[in-house]
Structure 1
């Protein structure tokens, strides 16, 4: 059975002093000894490392003060308690030793009761500190685990809602995934501009990426005869189709109510995107005819991503356009349909859009 007794390192250049301490402490502790400072620094790194050091001050070469100072400067040994046992009994000597990091100071000639009591006390304190540190680590791990669970729950909520929308639209395919990556690419490009640096943090871009799949969640409220119509919609049908932006917003609001404060909800960006991605820079979009900076930034990003992907995708009422033709249409919409700065970002990463489209092609 392994010896679980605490280990003490006894440091003194006088063999007689070490013999006295060993006789006093051997019953309750594992003991190791050193005759000088250098030997003490070597022994303290051996296994098992000592749980406490009893250290003489007056030694030839490296004195006890320097040994203590070196122990406290080393990250691997700084938490080992050091008790000075010395004939130097002046208050200034004690003050200096405690200032260097020692936990106690015992003067010679030693008292058996005092040595035993002080050693036991400081070992108990060391064990308590270690237990508290372990408990803090356990709590930190639990917090990390809980945070990870919450993040997974958020992601699962978004995925479930997006999948619901996808089941209603048999032309969606990889549209959801492509638009996710388009939005992220646009945001990362715009972040290079000083005016967007503070807004486009890593966390905000991640939320944009995760929220993008919900942009058409409102289509679950559109009648199949309109949503799946194999041809161009009539004016009345198109008016009804526009309602998917409102339906999407309302569905997300209902989900947000379960989160508590809607304005701090992780679904806030998703709500903005669902409700505003059909608004146009010149005010001619829907559902509210917002213009310019009135349109949420997330909606302005999604407008470019959504239209580009619709253009390169085959629909029952149109063939798939080439990347070049779709890019030209986006450029022509600069300042009309789209935020000029977002279109400029699109221009800079035009090839990246093309790569995303090919990687996640239907």
Structure 2
């Protein structure tokens, strides 16, 4: 393990090297110019076990050098010794505040040098072992999380395949809604992990439709009042299908399933929630779901042109939709319109938007 030794007088460096040579596992590396010592430290931080610096040097004193060393992230905890002929309490306090670990007085006794540096090298080795163990644990945790996420994706994929058997275009609708949800989340400044989780959960927003009879789900044309009531039950059914899981993404999916047909003005379903009483995830999914419904061709209507759909979304901010989410959605308009086949989809199932 390297011991970085800095003193502007070469003879003092030679004395320090001579004192350290009998110490097993200690490889001194000497410098007389602080800037050169810092450049070496930045280039090879993981090899340095202890830093020893003089105090009185031109251009940069020992306290300033210690501060500079501490600003190197990998050397934030490396044991650092200041060696000086000054015995001022204020200087020691300043050095400690800068990050000094220990002090040596000039002229230093070789035995004392070896004893102190040996202890500090052991401390440095313990810090390194702790970092490596923490990194190992982090890798294990990451692998475990990845495995859980893969299992969640498998469950979601199974549910979505079941839904696709009911409606030939469900898979495409899911992909588009998930993409739009991800764009909205990014525009709102959500962290990448939360964007991915929200986008994944949104793929299950219509899973409750697997319990809707084919005669209603696949009916060409508008639904009767009774049929619409049956169709609207898919929101609560989706919540029941997805609810009860300990998985955060499944809980989020259940929340989206039951709330993505609520409206900002309180006229939606199933619970007529209003404003921010509607879960945030449901408000985001509502914008994505309705936009896709508008731009999707159905047996009883043509797909709306993109600009007409945009105008509708804007006009209904504050009534159907959360205005802040509409603003975020429209801020990603270029990406929305660049999505494959945007505005010219075809689908057979009736709309419940």
Do they fold alike, i.e. is TM over 0.5?
yes
Aligned to 1:25: 21
How far apart, CA to CA, are the structure 2 residues paired with 1:126 and 1:224? 69
Aligned to 1:180: 178
How far apart, CA to CA, are the structure 2 residues paired with 1:358 and 1:226? 27
Q: Mapping of 1:287-326 within 5 angstroms?
A: 287-288=270-271, 290=272, 292-293=274-275, 295-315=278-298, 317-323=299-305
Aligned to 2:230: 240
Distance 1:29 1:279, change over 3 A: closer
User: Is residue 200–residue 249 contact of structure 2 (8 Å, CA) maintained in 1?
Assistant: no
1:73 and 2:71 aligned: no
The runs of 5 or more residues in structure 1 that have no matched partner are 192-199
Q: Structure 1 residues 168-177 or 16-25, which shifts more?
A: 16-25
Distance 1:153 1:233, change over 3 A: same
1:211 and 2:201 aligned: yes
Q: Mapping of 1:15-54 within 5 angstroms?
A: 18=14, 22=18, 25-26=21-22, 28=24, 38=32, 42=36, 45=40, 51-52=49-50
How far the C-alpha of 1:216 sits from its partner, in A, is 1.1
Q: Mapping of 1:120-199 within 5 angstroms?
A: 120-185=118-183, 191=188
The runs of 5 or more residues in structure 2 that have no matched partner are 347-353
How far apart, CA to CA, are the structure 2 residues paired with 1:105 and 1:320? 84
1:249 and 2:231 aligned: no
Q: How many pairs does the alignment contain?
A: 332
User: Is residue 280–residue 286 contact of structure 1 (8 Å, CA) maintained in 2?
Assistant: yes
1:119 to 117, 120, 123: 117
User: Is residue 183–residue 302 contact of structure 1 (8 Å, CA) maintained in 2?
Assistant: yes
User: Is residue 160–residue 171 contact of structure 2 (8 Å, CA) maintained in 1?
Assistant: no
How far apart, CA to CA, are the structure 2 residues paired with 1:347 and 1:41? 52
Identify the structure with bigger relative contact order (alpha carbons < 8 Å, sequence gap 6+). Answer: 2
Residue deviations 1:141-192 (CA, integer Å, cap 9, x gap): 4445545555555555444433332232123241112222344555667x5x
Q: Structure 1 residues 270-279 or 146-155, which shifts more?
A: 146-155
User: Is residue 22–residue 31 contact of structure 1 (8 Å, CA) maintained in 2?
Assistant: no
How far apart, CA to CA, are the structure 2 residues paired with 1:350 and 1:98? 56
How far apart, CA to CA, are the structure 2 residues paired with 1:361 and 1:207? 26
Residue deviations 1:303-330 (CA, integer Å, cap 9, x gap): 4543443343344x42533326963994
2:169 alignment partner, SS class = coil
CA RMSD of aligned residues (A): 5.0
How far the C-alpha of 1:280 sits from its partner, in A, is 5.0
How far apart, CA to CA, are the structure 1 residues paired with 2:91 and 2:48? 23
Distance 1:227 1:121, change over 3 A: same
TM-score (norm 2): 0.66
How far the C-alpha of 1:43 sits from its partner, in A, is 6.9
2:256 to 273, 276, 281: 273
Q: Structure 1 residues 73-82 or 305-314, which shifts more?
A: 73-82
User: Is residue 179–residue 309 contact of structure 1 (8 Å, CA) maintained in 2?
Assistant: yes
Residue deviations 1:47-74 (CA, integer Å, cap 9, x gap): 987655667779xx759x9356525533
Aligned to 1:195: none
1:174 alignment partner, SS class = helix
Distance 1:121 1:161, change over 3 A: same
